[in-house]
Amino acid sequence: MATSLNKTMRIQDLVRVNEISLVLAANGFGHILHMVGLSSALPPATDESTAPFARRVRQVLVQLGPTFIKLGQVLSVRPDILPADVLKELESLQDQVPPMGFDQVRSVVEAEMRMSLEEVFATFDEEPLGSASIAQVHAATLLDGREVAVKLQRLGIEPKIRSDLHILYSLASLLEGNVKVPGLHTPLAVVREFDTAISLELDFLNELRSAQRMYRNMKDCPGVRVPEMYPRWCTRRMMVMEKVNAKPLREMYGILKGEERKRVAHVIMDTTFRQAFEHGFFHGDPHPGNLFVEEDGTLVLLDFGVTGLLTGAMQDTLVNAFTAMVFRDPETLAMTVFRAGATSGRVDLRAFIDELERKMVQYYGASLDDLANTATFMEVVQLCVRFEISLPAEFAVLSRAITLVEGEVRALMPGIDIVEEVRPYAQRLMSRRFAPERVMHDAAKLMIQAQGHFRDLPTQMTQMLMDLEGGNITLITKDPDAELLRDEIRAAVLRLSLAALASTVTMGSLIFLAVWSPQPFGIPVFGLLGGAFLGLGVSLFGALGVHVLFARFLNLAAWRRRAVGFFLFFSWRRDR
Query: What one-character DSSP code corresponds to residue 289?
Result: T
Give Dmax (Cα) for the chain: 111
- Predicted confidence at residue 46, as pLDDT, reads 46
User: Angle 514-518-523 (CA atoms, 0-180°, nearest 5)?
Assistant: 105
CA-CA-CA-CA torsion sign (17, 23, 29, 34): positive
Q: Is 184 exposed, middle or buried (0-12, 13-18, 19+ CB in 10 A)?
A: middle
Q: What is the 3-state secondary structure (H, E, C) of 201-266?
A: HHCHHHHHHHHHHHHHHHCCCCCEECCCECHHHCCCCEEEEECCCCEEHHHHCCCCCHHHHHHHHH
The pTM of the full predicted model, rounded to 2 decimals, is: 0.66
Q: How far apart are CA 174 and CA 567, in angstroms?
A: 10
Cα dist. 336→100, 317, 329, 414 in Å?
49, 6, 11, 32
Query: What one-character DSSP code corresponds to residue 367?
Result: B
Q: How far apart are CA 229 and CA 242, in angstroms?
A: 6
Annotated domain spans of the chain: 11-95+161-200, 310-437, 487-570
Q: Which of 80, 73, 76 is nearest to 396 (CA)?
A: 80
The values of phi and psi at residue 136, to 5°, are: -140, 160
Q: Which of 268, 308, 301 is nearest to 397 (CA)?
A: 308
Assess whether the previous peptide bond of 518 is cis (omega < 30° from 0). Answer: yes
Q: Distance between the two ends of the chain, CA-based, in angstroms?
A: 15
The values of phi and psi at residue 392, to 5°, are: -55, 145
CA-CA-CA-CA torsion sign (453, 456, 461, 463): negative
- Contact (Cβ atoms closer than 8 angstroms) between residue 234 and residue 242: no
- Predicted confidence at residue 232, as pLDDT, reads 93
- Contact (Cβ atoms closer than 8 angstroms) between residue 238 and residue 112: yes
Query: What one-character DSSP code corresponds to residue 275?
Result: I
pLDDT, averaged per 10 consecutive residues of the chain (576 residues), comes to: 46 71 79 62 50 83 81 75 78 71 93 93 93 89 95 89 84 71 68 83 92 92 92 94 89 82 88 86 85 89 87 81 77 83 76 82 55 57 78 78 80 72 69 66 69 75 79 72 71 75 74 60 64 74 68 59 58 44
At 437-469, the pLDDT tens digits run 666 766 676 677 677 767 777 887 888 788 777
Q: How far apart are CA 229 and CA 215, in angstroms?
A: 9
- Predicted confidence at residue 1, as pLDDT, reads 40
At 280-311, the pLDDT tens digits run 899 988 888 789 999 888 999 998 888 888 88
Cα dist. 5→8, 170, 194 in Å?
8, 8, 14
- Contact (Cβ atoms closer than 8 angstroms) between residue 505 and residue 533: yes
- Predicted confidence at residue 373, as pLDDT, reads 43
Query: What one-character DSSP code corresponds to residue 417?
Result: B
